[in-house]
Structure 1
Amino acid sequence: MEHIKDSSKKRDKSRPKVTMVKAFKTIIWPKRNLVFIGLVLIVIRSLAGLVLPWQSKVLLDDVVPSKDASQLFSLIAIVLTAILIQAITSFSLTRILSVQAQYLISELRAQVQKKVLSLPISFFDNTKSGALVSRIMSDVEGVRNLIGTGLVQLVGGTFTAIVSLIILIKLNPWMTLFVFIPLSIFGYIALRAFKYIRPVFRKRGKINAEVKGRLTETLAGVRVIKAFNAEEQENRVFEKGVDKLYQNVKKSLTATALMTSSSTFLIGVATTGIMGIGGYYMIQSDMTTGDFLFFTLILGFMIAPIVQMSNIGSQLTEALAGLDRTEELMNMTAEEDNQDRIIQLEQLNGEIVFDNVSFAYEEDKEVLHNISFKAPAGSVTALVGSSGSGKSTIAGLSATFLNPKSGIVTIDNQDLSKVKLSSYRQHLGVVLQDEFLFEGTIRENIMFPRPNATETELENAVKAAYVNEFTDRFDKGLETLIGERGIKLSGGQRQRLAIARAILADPKIIILDEATSNLDTESEALIQKSLNQLVKDRTTIVIAHRLSTIKKADQILVIESGHIVERGTHDELIAQGGRYYDLYTYQAKI
C-alpha cells in the first residue's frame, strides 16, 4: 500500500500544471484581436466610471459655491454621457468576450469529447462514464473566467485601481500611504489563500466526477436496485460521496471567508483612518469638502477591484484547476497516435491468423497462452469453452480492442498491431450478447453505421434480420422510440435490431458474441436464418454459448484456461468424444 501511495504522489508531482502564462498562450493569445477590442472597451468603461466622483468634486467646490445653474446642467450632461458610455461598453463587452468565452467552452468540449473517443478500450474499462461526462462538460467551464467575465473584472479592476491610485497620490500622498499598508497585508493573505485553494479545487473536480459517475450508474441500474431492495444502500453510497464533496467545498469556503473577513477588517481600519486624517486636514483648511468626497469616492474605486480580486482569484484558480484536469486528459495517447500503425489497408479479403499469441490484463497473469489458429477469409470460426476461459479476449484481439502481450495477429498477412485502426475497423462488424442501443427510433439505430444508406438497403437489412416481424405490429413502425438502451423492446427484439444494424454495415469481418443467447426458441429460429445470411462470404468469429447454433461452423476451437484444447468441425469433435462432446451432450440433456 505504501508503494502505491508513493507512486501516486510521484505521478501528482509530475502531472502538468496549467499556469496563467500557458493559459494566456493557448487560450487568450489565439483570440487576441477580440481580446484587444475588449481591453479597449474595458479602459473606456473604467475611465467613464471615474467621471462621477470627479464631477462630484466639481459640484461641491465650484458649482454650488458659485450657484451657477448653467454649469450644473453641463455637469449633469457630462455625468449622463459617462453613464451611457458605461452601459454601451458593458453591453459590448458581454457580446464580445462573454459570448466568445461560451463559444470557446463549446469548442473545448468538442475537442475533449473527440479526444476521449480516440482513447483505447482499456481506458474506458477503468473509467466511469459519469466521471468522463463531468470532465467533458464541467472541467472546461472555467475558460469563461479566462476570456470572459473574469478577464473583464481582472483587467478592468487592475486598470481602475492603478488610475485611482495615481489620482489619490496627487490628491494626498500621506492619506494614500495610510490606505496602502492594510491593502498590502490583504494582498499577501489573498496570495497565500490562492496557493492553498488550487489543489482543493483540483481535488473537487475529481470528487465531483466520482459522485456523478456513481449517480449515472445508479440511475442506469435502477431496476436492479429496486429488484434487490437496495435503495438504502445506494442512498448511503451517494450520501458519502456528497459529504466528501461538501468537506472539500468547506475547505475552499474557509479560505475565501478568511480573505473576505480580512478585507472587511483591513478596509474598515483604512476607512476609519481616512475619516480621522481627512477630518484633520479639513479642520486645518488643507483640504476642501469636495477634495475629501473626491478622495473617498476614488478610494472606493481603488479598493472595490482589489477586494473583488479575491473573488476573481478564486474563479481563475478554479479555472486553472479544471484546465489542469483537461490537459491531463488531452495529453493521453490516442489509439491512432501509435507510431507503429503505419499500414493503410486498401482492400480486405479477411484472413485472420493468430500466431503464438499470449495476453494478460494484469502483469504476470496471462489469460491467453500461445494461441495459434487461422480463420480463412469467408470462414466461420466458433469459440467454445467455459466462462472465463479466454473466448472474449480472443474476440477483443480480433477487433483490435486489445493488443497481444506476445505473438502476432495478422489480417491478410499484415501485422494487425501495425495497421491503421480506421482502415481496419471500417470493415469490421460486431454484435454483442448485450447489445447497446441508442435512445431514439428503430430506424436511427439500424442506420447508425451508415446514416446515408438508401431506403432499399434499410428495408433489406430489416427483412434479413426479421425486424419487420415485430415493427409491423407497432403503430409507428421503424419510427417507434425504443427508450434508453432500447428498454421498450424485448431481449429478442433488441438482438434482431442489432443484427439488422450489422447487416446494413456490410462488413468483411464479423464478431458475434452469441447473438442468439437472448432469444426465445421462435426468435432463435428466425435469427439463425438471418445470421446465415450475415456470415455468408464474411470472416466470422463467433463466441458460442448455445452449441446447437454452430454445427455448420468451418472450425470450432475449444478454449480452456487460455489454451486451445481441441479444434475441428462439429462432427470431428463429436467423434473425438472429448471436451466438446461433453459440453454438447450436457446441453442436449438440458
Structure 2
Amino acid sequence: MSERTLLPVASGRDAARRSWRLLRSRPGWLAVTVSAFVVAGLAGLVPVLMIGRVVDAVGSGGDRDDVVQAVAWMVAAGIVAAGATALSTASLARVVAPSLARLREDVLDRALHLETERVEAAGIGDVVSRVGDDVRQVTESLDEAVPATLSSVVTLVFTVGGLFTLDWRLGLAGLAATPFYLGAVRWYVPHSGPMYREERRAQGERADALVTGVHGAETMRAFGRERHAIERVERASAAAVDVALRVYVMFTRFGFRMNLSELVGLGAVLVAGYWTVSSGAGSIGDATAAALFFHRLFNPIGALLFLFDTVQAAGAALTRLVGVADLPGPEPTRLDPRDADLHLVDVEHAYEPGHRVLAPVSLHLPAGRVVAVVGATGAGKTTLGAIAAGALRPSGGRVLLGGQDLASVDESQVRRHIALVTQEVHVFAGTVRDNLRLAGPDATDPELWDALATALARAWVEALPRGLDTVVGDRGHRLTAPQAQQLALARIVLADPRVVVLDEATAEAGSSGARELEQAALRVLAGRSAVVIAHRLTQTRDADEVVVLHHGEVVERGSHDELVARAGRYADLWRAWSVRA
C-alpha cells in the first residue's frame, strides 16, 4: 500500500494571521469585548484591596463605618464584574461565531473543490476528520476555553499590577515564581504542539480506517477479509490511544511544574510580607492583601493550566483547518468548448511510479457518439472512464473537449459539461425534489417530472406517499439500487451535460432492475456523447463503437457485430455473457 499524502497543515503563524484577519472584520464588537474584559479585571481587584483595608481598620481599632464602606465597595465591584463578564462573553461570541462560521465555509468550500485524485491521495478519513473532528474541537474551544482563557489572562495581569500597587517589594516577591512558570511553559509548549498534531493525525488515521472498513464491508466479507479490516481499525485505534496516553502523561508532568511554581511564589510573598511588616515598611493589611492577591492567581493560573491543554488541541486543529482553507483555489479558466467532441489523445496512467495501469489510449467521440468500454476486472476501464470524465488527471496524454484541454481547467468547470455516474450513487437525506434540484436548482416541477419520465422513474415516484415531497435517504424512504440509479440519471437530464460517462452504472441493479435501467440510460444518453463502462455486455450492442481493454491496453475496437464476427477476445466475452444470461 502506497504512503498517503495528507492534506497540508498550516504553520502557527499562518493560522494566527488568518484568525486575526477574520476577527478584525468586526471591529466594533472586538472593541466592546476588550473593554469588557478590562473592566471585569479591574473590578476583581477591589475586593482584595478592601479586605486589606478591613484588616488594617480592625488592627488599628478603626470604627464600624470603615468596615461597612469596604463591604459596600466589594458588593459594588462584584456587581460590576458580573455585568462586565456577561458582556464580554456575549460580545466575544458576536466576534468569534461569525469568524468561525466563515472559516468553516472556507474549509468546506476548498474540501468540496479538491481534485478527486487529491482526496484519494490524502484518504477520505483525513478530509472527514478536518471538516468534522477539527471543526468540533475549535468550536468547543471557542465556546468555553477561549472566554475562560482571556478572563484568566486579564485577571493575571491586573493581579500582578495590584501586588505592585501595594508595595514594589511585594510585587517583586510575587514575580519570584515567574522563572518557574516560564520554565514549565517552555518545557510544555515545544512538546505539546507536535504531540497534539500527532494526536489529530492519529484520529484522522482512525477515521480513515473506520470509513474504509464500513464502505468496503461487503467486499471484505465476500473475500473473507473481515479480519484484515478489523485489524486495521484496531491498529489505528491503538495508535490513537497510545498518543492520547502520552498526551496525558505530558500534561501531568506540566501540572507538577505549575504546582511547584505556585509553592515558590506564595512562599516568597509570605516572606516578603513578614519582612515589610516587621520593618515597618508596610501594614498587616498590605501583607494580607498581597498574600490574597497571589493566592488569587491560583484560579486563573489553574484555569490556564487546564485550558491550555484544550487551547493547544484547538490550535493544532486550527492549523489543520487553515491548511485546507489556504489551499490555492481553482484557476479562473473557463471551459467553453466549441462543440461536444471528446478526444482522448494517447492518455496513460500510473497510480504509482513504475506501475502503469493504462497504456497510451486514444478515443474520439464526436457529438452524439456512444463508445462502450469492456474488459475483465482490472483491465483499466474505470481509470479510463475517470480520465474521460475529467475526474482523474492522466499521467500522460491529453483530454480535449471541443478542442479545449481539460488539464488547464478546474474540475468544477469540467462537471458543467461532463457528467460522471458510477455504480456508487448517493441518495441525499431530503426530499426527492431536493435530490433532483442538486442538478437543476431552478427546475420547475413539470421539468422535474419530465426528467423522471425520461429516466423511467416517474411511475414509482408518483407512487411514493408524498411524491416529489417524499423524504428519502438515511432518515426517510429507502430507495432500491435501481431507483437510486434512476434518480441519478434524472439528474443528468436536468444538468444537461454535453458528455456523459457511465461507469458500470447498472452493475448493482440486479438482473430484473438492470434491463429497465439500461433502457433508462439509453433514453438519457440520446443525442449526447457518452462513454459507457459496460459491466453488462447488453449495453454494448447499441454503442457506436466498442473498445476492449486488456491489462490497460486496447486489444480490439469496432462495432458489436464486427467484433463478434472477428472471433477475438470480445467474442469470447460475449459468448460467456450470453451463456450466463
Same fold (TM over 0.5): yes
Q: 1:366 aligns with which of 335, 356, 363?
A: 356
SS of the counterpart of 2:253?
Answer: helix
Larger displacement relative to structure 2 (253-262 or 349-358): 253-262
* Cα distance in 2 between the residues matched to 1:434 and 1:28: 41
1:413 aligns with 2:403: yes
- Hey, what does 1:17 align to over in structure 2? 11
1:588 aligns with 2:578: yes
Q: Does the Cα contact within 8 Å between 2:472 and 2:479 map onto a contact in 1?
A: yes
- Hey, what does 2:176 align to over in structure 1? 181
- Hey, what does 2:86 align to over in structure 1? 91
- Hey, what does 1:52 align to over in structure 2? 47
Q: Does the Cα contact within 8 Å between 1:194 and 1:314 map onto a contact in 2?
A: no
How many equivalent residue pairs?
A: 579
Q: 2:190 aligns with which of 192, 195, 198?
A: 195
Q: 1:208 aligns with which of 179, 203, 206?
A: 203
Alignment of 1:121-520 (within 5 A): 121-140=116-135, 152=147, 156-169=151-164, 171-218=166-213, 237-279=232-274, 281-282=276-277, 286-302=281-297, 304-334=299-329, 336-337=330-331, 342-345=333-336, 349-484=339-474, 488-520=478-510
SS of the counterpart of 2:425?
Answer: coil
- Hey, what does 1:572 align to over in structure 2? 562
1:529 aligns with 2:519: yes
Change in CA separation of 1:32 and 1:255 when aligned onto 2, cut-off 3 Å: farther
Q: Does the Cα contact within 8 Å between 2:380 and 2:552 map onto a contact in 1?
A: yes
Letter in 1 for 2:12: V
Q: Does the Cα contact within 8 Å between 1:350 and 1:539 map onto a contact in 2?
A: yes
Larger displacement relative to structure 2 (295-304 or 63-72): 63-72
- Spell out, residue by residue over 1:323-375, the C-alpha distance to the aligned partner (whole angstroms, 9 max, x if none): 322233334455x33xxx73530x65311112222222222222222212311
- Spell out, residue by residue over 1:551-577, the C-alpha distance to the aligned partner (whole angstroms, 9 max, x if none): 121111122222222222122222222
* Cα distance in 1 between the residues matched to 2:136 and 2:429: 27
Q: Does the Cα contact within 8 Å between 1:108 and 1:140 map onto a contact in 2?
A: no
Gaps of 5+ in 1: none
Shift of the alpha carbon at 1:230? 8.5
* Cα distance in 2 between the residues matched to 1:237 and 1:32: 49
Change in CA separation of 1:32 and 1:301 when aligned onto 2, cut-off 3 Å: farther
* Cα distance in 2 between the residues matched to 1:366 and 1:114: 33
Letter in 2 for 1:323: L
- Spell out, residue by residue over 1:114-159, the C-alpha distance to the aligned partner (whole angstroms, 9 max, x if none): 1111111112223443432221133345656997765655555445
* Cα distance in 2 between the residues matched to 1:485 and 1:535: 32
SS of the counterpart of 1:116?
Answer: helix
Change in CA separation of 1:547 and 1:241 when aligned onto 2, cut-off 3 Å: closer
* Cα distance in 1 between the residues matched to 2:264 and 2:398: 76
Shift of the alpha carbon at 1:199? 0.4
Change in CA separation of 1:276 and 1:582 when aligned onto 2, cut-off 3 Å: closer
* Cα distance in 2 between the residues matched to 1:525 and 1:146: 54
Change in CA separation of 1:101 and 1:15 when aligned onto 2, cut-off 3 Å: closer
- Hey, what does 1:43 align to over in structure 2? 38
Letter in 2 for 1:18: G
1:562 aligns with 2:557: no
- Spell out, residue by residue over 1:17-43, the C-alpha distance to the aligned partner (whole angstroms, 9 max, x if none): 213864664454445543332222111
Shift of the alpha carbon at 1:251? 2.4
Q: Does the Cα contact within 8 Å between 1:382 and 1:553 map onto a contact in 2?
A: yes
* Cα distance in 2 between the residues matched to 1:21 and 1:503: 46
* Cα distance in 1 between the residues matched to 2:75 and 2:207: 50
Q: Does the Cα contact within 8 Å between 2:57 and 2:67 map onto a contact in 1?
A: no
Change in CA separation of 1:436 and 1:301 when aligned onto 2, cut-off 3 Å: same
Shift of the alpha carbon at 1:456? 1.0
Q: Does the Cα contact within 8 Å between 2:269 and 2:290 map onto a contact in 1?
A: no
- Report the identity percentage: 25
Larger displacement relative to structure 2 (216-225 or 118-127): 216-225
Shift of the alpha carbon at 1:410? 1.5
SS of the counterpart of 1:387?
Answer: coil
- Spell out, residue by residue over 1:448-488, the C-alpha distance to the aligned partner (whole angstroms, 9 max, x if none): 21132111111112222222343444434444444339993
SS of the counterpart of 2:398?
Answer: strand
Larger displacement relative to structure 2 (514-523 or 140-149): 140-149
Letter in 2 for 1:52: P
- Spell out, residue by residue over 1:386-444, the C-alpha distance to the aligned partner (whole angstroms, 9 max, x if none): 22222222211111112232222211222222345444321223322232222333333
Q: Does the Cα contact within 8 Å between 1:142 and 1:320 map onto a contact in 2?
A: no
Q: Does the Cα contact within 8 Å between 2:389 and 2:418 map onto a contact in 1?
A: yes
Change in CA separation of 1:230 and 1:440 when aligned onto 2, cut-off 3 Å: farther
Q: Does the Cα contact within 8 Å between 1:464 and 1:533 map onto a contact in 2?
A: yes
Q: Does the Cα contact within 8 Å between 2:23 and 2:95 map onto a contact in 1?
A: no
Change in CA separation of 1:504 and 1:75 when aligned onto 2, cut-off 3 Å: same
Shift of the alpha carbon at 1:59? 2.2
Q: Does the Cα contact within 8 Å between 1:63 and 1:71 map onto a contact in 2?
A: no
